[in-house]
Amino acid sequence: MPQVPILYCNRESGHSYKVALALRLMAVPFEQRAVDLNLPRAERDADFRAASLFGEVPALVDEDGLAVCQSNVILDHLARRYGKLDGRTPAERTRVREWLAWEANRLAMSFPHLRFSRRFTPAGSALEAWWTARMQADFDRLDQHLRTHAFMLGERVTIADASCCGYLFWLDQGEVDPAPWPAITAWLDRIRSLPGWKAPYDLLVETPPIASGTRT
């Protein structure tokens, strides 16, 4: 069994970042193992393929040897395992997981794809226009919530914050001007001020650059 959690990750993956950030904010030591996303999934390292049911990053193996994949499921697992970054009551824990589900269905389906298209593998103007429209609607909803909440749950940071911010420190890479969403900007600044926070490229280990044309 590993002595500390093992996180299989890639430094260009906001989903990897959200898990690494949560572990940092929880003050849980962990080991990172880089995954080369340029390789076809069937050719990635055997230990990673054993840990990741779908062949995607991130994947985590905890101290009991349990392998967990899908970033928001990993966040839920970490919050329950360590008793940190979660709601204090059943109602609060439910709210946190509502935001995890919203992030997976909304945020994760818009800006990350737009960024990938503009930074790595162009997907074409029609798809970029669709992702942009959806992103704007998602950012409007998130900004509205954050006008009256310091963090996603209120005054305390939770795994919902780690989830929702995963890609948003890379707005410049998606050629997105944050000016229309000042509450999001202020929230990201509050996250930056948290003990243990590191920017994505400072936190995640080096991995081979993603080649143009790669489909992860």
106 plus 165 within the same structural domain: yes
Residue 211 placed within a domain: no
Could you tell me if residue 142 is inside a domain?
A: yes
pTM: 0.97
**96 in the same domain as 138:** yes
Q: Residue 59 belongs to what H/E stretch?
A: strand 59-61
Q: Is residue 215 part of a domain?
A: no
Q: How confident is the model at residue 205 (pLDDT cuts 50, 70, 90)?
A: very high
Residues 106 and 188 in one domain: yes
Q: How confident is the model at residue 2 (pLDDT cuts 50, 70, 90)?
A: confident
**What does each C-alpha distance from 11 to 76, 108, 165 come to in angstroms?**
21, 17, 15
pLDDT tens-place string over residues 52-74? 999 999 999 999 999 999 999 99
Is a pLDDT exceeding 80 seen at residue 114?
Answer: yes
pLDDT digits 0-9 by tens, 144-153: 999 999 999 9
- Domain of residue 188, residue span: 90-192
Q: What SS3 state is found at 181?
A: coil
Asked if the model's pLDDT at residue 108 lies above 90, the reply is yes
Neighbours of 13 (CB within 10 A): 25
In this structure, is residue 212 part of a structural domain? no
Answer whether 196's CB lies under 8 Å from 14's CB.
no
Q: How confident is the model at residue 176 (pLDDT cuts 50, 70, 90)?
A: very high
**pLDDT above 70 as % of the chain:** 100
* Domain harbouring 18, CATH code: 3.40.30.10
Q: Are residues 97 and 141 in the same domain?
A: yes
* DSSP symbols for 3-54: SS-EEEE-TT-HHHHHHHHHHHHTT---EEEE--TTS-GGGS-HHHHHH-TT
Averaged pLDDT, 89-116 = 98
CA distance 8 to 59: 5
Tell me the three-class secondary structure of 73-121, residue by residue.
HHHHHHHHHHCCCCCCCHHHHHHHHHHHHHHHHCHHHCHHHHHHHHHCC
Give 68's strand partners. 60
What pLDDT does residue 211 have?
Answer: 87
Is 29 a member of any domain? yes
CA distance 40 to 53: 15
Phi–psi pair at 121, nearest 5 degrees: -125, 100
Residue (of 87, 84, 137, 83) closest to 110 by Cα position: 137
pLDDT (tens digit per residue) in 118-172: 999 999 999 999 999 999 999 999 999 999 999 999 999 999 999 999 999 999 9
Which H helix or E strand runs over 192? helix 182-192
How many folded domains does the chain comprise? 2
Torsion of the alpha carbons at 134, 128, 17 and 173, rounded to the nearest 10: -120
**Bridging pattern class, strands 59-61 and 67-69:** antiparallel
**Do 179 and 106 belong to one domain?**
yes
